[in-house]
Amino acid sequence: MSAKKANLSGELKKYFGFSTFKGQQEQIIDNLLNGKDIFVLMPTGGGKSLCYQLPALISEGTAIVVSPLIALMKNQVDAVNGLSSDDGVAHVLNSSLNKTQTKQVFDDIKSGKTKLLYVAPESLIKDDYLDFLKEVTISFFAIDEAHCISEWGHDFRPEYRNLKQIIDKIADVPVIALTATATPKVQDDIQKTLGMTNALVFKESFNRPNLYYEVCPKINVDKEIVKFINQHKGKSGIVYCLSRRKVEEFAQLLQVNGINALPYHAGLDQKVRVANQDKFLMEEVDVIVATIAFGMGIDKPDVRFVIHYDFPKSLESYYQETGRAGRDGGEGYCLAFYDPKDIEKLEKFLAQKPVSEREIGLQLLNEVVGYAETSMSRRQYILYYFGEVFDPVHGDGANMCDNSSHPPKLKDATADLKKS
């Protein structure tokens, strides 16, 4: 065992150039290589990819990595191929490939060159892919962003639901599922749906001690945000709004106020969207005003603030969205504007949905309202939601919220808002 561990460090250095593993990476990889099913719950930025990339690179055969977004897959494939001089070590398989390209991917897999094959779940069910994959050596399956399986998660994707049956058809090999969503409900859902209730579970703390959480009454919100951004001039930040229209309006308002801001939402032309995102990543623009379409897979280390113009629909989304701040460990200010009327609007919107969806939505909203109106440590509240006990006095980051650092003034203002 110890020989193998020393060896893993060597492989880590050889392929990734890192001298130490992060968190529980080494135990995870070791167990996966020993044939165990594994479930990894680790916050964003924790280093989940390496937990399947490294074992894939040193295993015989090809690991199949299921991932929900083509953009995410492409980034990872480029990154993995960049690790060696060889271009076929990682591939994406999807319907955008032409015949020649698909043949190249199949050939590289057959020759044993391809160690990681990235697929979206909807591609995996295609007959010609399925027939091919049944015939080749698969090392293991990695299900990234595994919360997409659960309706309780923040990004449910129906295509993820049937993964278990497809996996069973292809090969009887270990499965590693990974997610940055750790609510007990989602965790339970993932394990049941993937048939991995006996998996080894590795859970890391979701505490982000460098993030400061604050909730403000939604009064003069435009002015307040402009003021806040001006106080943080030149720093990178994200402002989340609920609707596309609001995103456009508010980006303009910021521009009119001399703030270097651009909009981002799924309704924008693809080229504009990508250009705006790139400008933010390249620091040509300070602030991106966005719907929740922005962010998955965005790895900008020095985002200094995340503002919610409109309150999020679940605490889970709030955690994910604010999680984009302070990834380098530096300052990360998370400010959310709360108006009970906004919650009522969301409730009305849910009333038009099918019953099951509505019930889930309402419960998630309840938890969000609880967060907004609580006078306890916000960090403690969020972590409790993730099934973690946090000491609000001595815990790491204990003073980093409005309720902990100064007496709550929000309560009175909220009461006023409710009256009006």
Closest CB to ligand ADP among residues 175, 241: 175
| Minimum distance from residue 45 beta carbon to Mg ion (Å) | 8
| Minimum distance from residue 33 beta carbon to ligand ADP (Å) | 16
- Cβ-proximal residues to 355 (8 Å cutoff; 6+ apart), any chain: none
Give the pairing type, strands 62-66 and 303-308.
Answer: unpaired
**Closest residue to bound Mg ion by CB:** 48
Closest CB to ligand ADP among residues 46, 392: 46
Residue whose entry in the numeric block shows the structure tokens 């959310």: 336
The interface mask with Mg ion, positions 36-75, x = CB under 5 A, is: ------------x---------------------------
Site for Mg ion, residues 350 to 369, rule: CB under 5 A: none
Binding-site size for Mg ion (CB under 5 A) equals 1
The interface mask with ligand ADP, positions 47-86, x = CB under 6 A, is: xxxx------------------------------------
Residue 319's closest CA among 119, 183, 195?
183
Binding partner of 411, given ligand ADP, Mg ion, none, CB within 5-8 angstroms per partner class: none
Binding-site size for ligand ADP (CB under 6 A) equals 12
| Minimum distance from residue 17 beta carbon to ligand ADP (Å) | 9
Site for ligand ADP, residues 7 to 46, rule: CB under 6 A: 18, 21-22, 25, 42, 44-46
In three-state secondary structure terms, 195 is coil
Q: Which two tokens stand for residue 51?
A: 């937990």
C-alpha span between 20 and 279 (Å, rounded): 33
Geometric angle at alpha carbon 181, from 117 and 265, rounded to 5°: 80
Longest distance between any two alpha carbons in the chain, whole Å: 70
C-alpha span between 381 and 370 (Å, rounded): 9
**Beta-sheet strands, E only, within 75-193:** 90-93, 116-119, 138-143, 175-179
CB atoms within 10 A of CB 382: 23
Task: Tell me if 273 contacts ligand ADP by CB under 6 A.
Answer: no
Closest CB to ligand ADP among residues 54, 105: 54
Contact residues: ligand ADP, CB under 6 A: 18, 21-22, 25, 42, 44-50
